[in-house]
Structure 1
Amino acid sequence: MLERQPVLFHGTNHPLSATAPNTADADALVAQAETTPLSDGGIAAAALLTETLAKTPDHHAAQLLLNQLHHMFVPRWHFPMMADASRNRAYAEAINAKVQPGDIVLDIGAGAGLTAMLAARAGAGHVYAVEQQPMIAEAAQQVIADNNLSDKITVISKWSHDIIIGKDMPERADVVLSEIVDSNLLGEGALATLKHAMIHLAKPGARCIPESGILMAQPVQSDALTETMRPRSAEGFDLSSFHKFSRMAQITPNDAAALPLFPLGPTVPLFYFDFTNPDIAPARSEQTLTCDTEGTVHAVVVSFQMQLAPGILVSNDLRSDGHWGRTAYLPEVPMPVTPGTGLPVIAQHDATKLSLSFNCDGEDSGAHTTLTLQ
């Protein structure tokens, strides 16, 4: 059920009832929406609220609840992602390079349907666009219809692990297409999802977009980041005991503009992921980040580089301006460094989440593993 608004909703006796006598039907629809289970992903409740607003466009309660539903089931990152021209162009180029005429394409995490439509435009015989969230899947169907591609694309509102060949798809896919990574390549369960897809839903030797990725770490200086995430005092009071809650910061593109991050050394690879044959075993990487500039390490930023197709890369490193954010790990205290200083770190993942710690007791061997996208 939708969370009730404590001030506005008391049956139908919210403020609108006193000023708009013709809203009784609309109020009844809102009351029904409030008690409608959300087990269908919000579809039924959203339909009731949409009907309410068709009758009474300025119905305050319906507007609030519909906005709440949309925020609940349609993550806000969808919109800057769709507006990311560099990301869209890279995917379009990779899809054109890898999709062949007549291919069966499986698009996992289809969202609004953009990558599915790119695959259809590239000549796919048919695209099966898998979107787990019913409200998003319903909108994707309309977007695809608006672009006259309903005959080339089938939207499947299921978790990809539940797809059955011969029922949901007539045959296995020639190409597995996805964009289900977060800023650390792990957070949306990409490795397990793609491993299942390549084994159970794809033909032997199927092509994959993206193909691979590297997760990297880089020491950075940012007084503004420290002042924002760890203010030392306010109005003369010492706040330092609160800093223990600020060991990691999710930095959005807007944050990066407001809190400039200055690199103090090159990126160092932590993990390599092969999306054509994902390994979902936990992994640990001990690396030494070498600083080549004098300054103060306020954080280690973790970023990625993905290869969509040979020669076609996307990244969220410090030079990129796309929609992906970055994760910054803050040491207990800022660390002054000079050229040649080594900063040992330990990174670990369980195929879904990443942690990074500062190995202050580790020895700086100066040895780095070099990984390249192929």
Structure 2
Amino acid sequence: MTKRHSADPAQDFHGAGAPHADTLVQRAKSEPLDDGGLRTSQILDDALTLDPRHHEAQVLQERLHQMFVPRWHFPMLADSARNRAYAEAIAAKVRPGDVVLDIGCGAGLTAMLAARAGAKHVYTCEQQPLIAQAATRVISDNGLSGRITVIPKWSHDIAVGTDIPERADVVISEIVDTVLLGEGALATLTHAMSALAKPGARTVPEWGALKAQLVESSGLLDQWRPQAAEGFDLSAFHRFARVAQLTPGEFAACGLRPLGPAAELFRFDFTNPDLTPARTATDLMCAAAGTVHAVLVSFEMQLAPGIRVANGMDSGGHWGRTAFLLDQAQAAAPGDRLAVTAQHDTSHLSVAANGPLIPAGEAAAATVWLNPAWRLRPPLREDGDRSAPPPAAWRPADAAGAGHQGQPCH
């Protein structure tokens, strides 16, 4: 390889514009970030225009982008199955002449899909200024500036008559995390449907459900709860690793094996969202022998009738997964069950295992005739006590109105 040398090492390292670029970099370092990084980004762009090889400008720009533009945007945009599902759902929901509100603009993809589907106008909001600026450029590059307006605001701050001329016929969003709740989807959609959408407005997605199932994975424990290192016992450190957030790569590497079917914990109506916290107690079943290491929580969303996306055991795509690790691994036989309690406050989810596995025979007795009206295990009270309530006379109406034990009311 031929090496190039210069009499002036600084000149060789930076470039002809280095002195002026240095000045801009120093200015960028002192610039406040109260505008979401817009001014700092422009200053660094200017510095790199003068000297494309300026080391400090490159490092600061990358640090700025990582601070304000979450890295999950890129695998999400590359998720062709997710993109196709949203494209089909938006085409099914948007009608010619519709006014569309798109919450969480990102790169502008869902807004452009709505415009392509025939919307009269799309108003898409993005609270991060750098992302909103980039989306505006993407939309312009695709010749859709006349039909899409990017609003650089949080949706809660949008006002009808000021930011958008009228309420929306369709509300589109993709503001969910691995357990649906972490990006504030329920609060955001509750506000949007009541304040920014017309009565009976259509939504994409329509609903989402959280599910849980028992899984076996020694790889999960090896990664999140290593027993020892260099002969030293590390088990006292394990209490810090109760919830494992798995990237798609980590999920594949851990080789999770399902031990039973997924049971629904909660269902959320995105067309008519509810901000009521909920709690449910249910038994997760083992259909195969193995060792229970964790409870895997996944979601399923219906974008439009017949069009769904999910991050379950058999799903691909960019979404990660969330596994709640048991305090102690438990050997399981077919028919065994694990009692769990799941709770959410509309923004966060918790899942706790309630004691050891219930052997198959006892689990069967706990659901006499498979009818909740006859269940022998007392329901879990708000204080966590399972002591039996005073006996009450059974009435046929009780059986008729009883729902699935694991299905909470919202």
After TM superposition, the score normalised by the length of structure 2 is 0.85
1:328 aligns with 2:323: yes
Maintained 8 Å contact 2:244/2:322: yes
Contact 1:216/1:304 (<8 A) preserved: yes
1:348 matches 2:332 = no
CA distance 1:19–1:307, change in 2 (3 Å): closer
The match for 1:91 is 86
Which of 1 and 2 has greater Rg?
2
Q: Could you list the per-position Cα deviations for residues 90-146 of structure 1 after superposition, in whole angstroms to 9, with x for gaps in the alignment? A: 100100100000100000001000000000000000000111100000000000011
> Relative to structure 1, is the Cα distance of residues 272 and 58 closer, same or farther in structure 2, using a 3 angstrom cutoff?
same
Match of 2:187 in 1: 192
User: Residues 134 and 339 of structure 1: is their aligned pair in 2 closer, same or farther, counting only changes over 3 Å?
Assistant: same
Mark the runs of 5 or more structure 2 residues left unpaired by the alignment. 1-8, 373-403
On the 8 A contact 2:14/2:51 being kept in 1, the answer is no
Q: 1:238 to 1:174 in 2, by over 3 A?
A: same
Which letter maps to 1:258?
Answer: A
In the other structure, the counterpart of 1:235 is: 230
* 2:167 equivalent to 1:168: no
- Does the aligned pair in 2 maintain the 1:183–1:303 contact within 8 Å? yes
Q: 2: CA distance between counterparts of 1:361 and 1:284?
A: 20
Whether 2:303 is the aligned partner of 1:305: answer: no
Unmatched runs of 5 consecutive residues or more in structure 1: 1-14
User: Which of 170, 179, 195 is the aligned partner of 2:174?
Assistant: 179
Q: What SS does the corresponding residue of 2:161 show, helix, strand or coil?
A: coil
Taking a change above 3 Å as real, the CA distance of residues 195 and 302 of structure 1, as seen in their structure-2 partners, is same
Change in Cα spacing, 1:185 to 1:166, as seen in structure 2 (3 Å) is same
Distance in structure 2 (CA, Å) of the matches to 1:16 and 1:135 = 32
Answering whether residue 263 of structure 2 is matched by residue 268 of structure 1, we say: yes
Instruction: Tell me if the contact between 1:16 and 1:60 (Cα under 8 Å) persists in the aligned partners.
Output: no
Q: Which amino acid aligns with 1:295?
A: G
Q: Equivalents in 2 of 1:16, 1:27: separation in Å?
A: 12
On the 8 A contact 2:281/2:406 being kept in 1, the answer is no
C-alpha contact (below 8 Å) 2:337/2:357 kept by paired residues: no
Aligned equivalent of 1:318: 313
Shift of 1:282: 1.0
The number of residues matched between the two structures is 357
- The aligned residue for residue 98 of structure 2 is 103
What is the alpha-carbon distance in structure 2 between the residues aligned to residue 240 and residue 370 of structure 1?
33
Which of 118, 133, 138 does residue 138 from structure 1 map onto? 133
Q: 1:102·1:124 contact (CA, 8 Å) conserved in 2?
A: yes
1:80 aligns with 2:83: no
For residues 23 and 331 of structure 2, what CA distance do their matches in structure 1 show? Answer: 64
The residue aligned with 1:45 is 40
Give the distance between the partners of 2:405 and 2:119, measured in 1 at CA. 39
Aligned residue type for 2:225: R
Moved over 6 A (4+): none
Do the aligned partners of 1:16 and 1:59 also contact (CA within 8 Å) in 2? no
Shift of 1:203: 0.4
SS in 2 for 1:298: strand
Structure 1 residue 223 corresponds to structure 2 residue 218: yes
Map of 1:129 onto structure 2 = 124
Partners of 1:280 and 1:322 lie apart in 2 by 29
Residue in structure 2 matched with residue 204 of structure 1 by the alignment: 199
Residue 21 of structure 1, CA deviation: 7.8
Q: Distance in 2 between matches of 1:17 and 1:56?
A: 11
Corresponding residue for 1:67? 62
8 Å contact from structure 1 (residues 17, 24) kept in 2: no
Q: CA deviation at 1:285?
A: 1.1
CA distance in 2, matches of 1:330, 1:260: 15
Task: State the 1:260 CA deviation.
Answer: 0.8
Would the aligned equivalents of 1:213 and 1:306 in 2 still touch at CA under 8 Å? yes
Change (3 A) 1:362 1:263: closer
Deviation at 1:281, TM superposition (A): 1.2
Alpha-carbon displacement from aligned partner over 1:121-180 (angstroms, at most 9, x marks no partner)? 000000001111000000000000110000110000000000010010000000000000
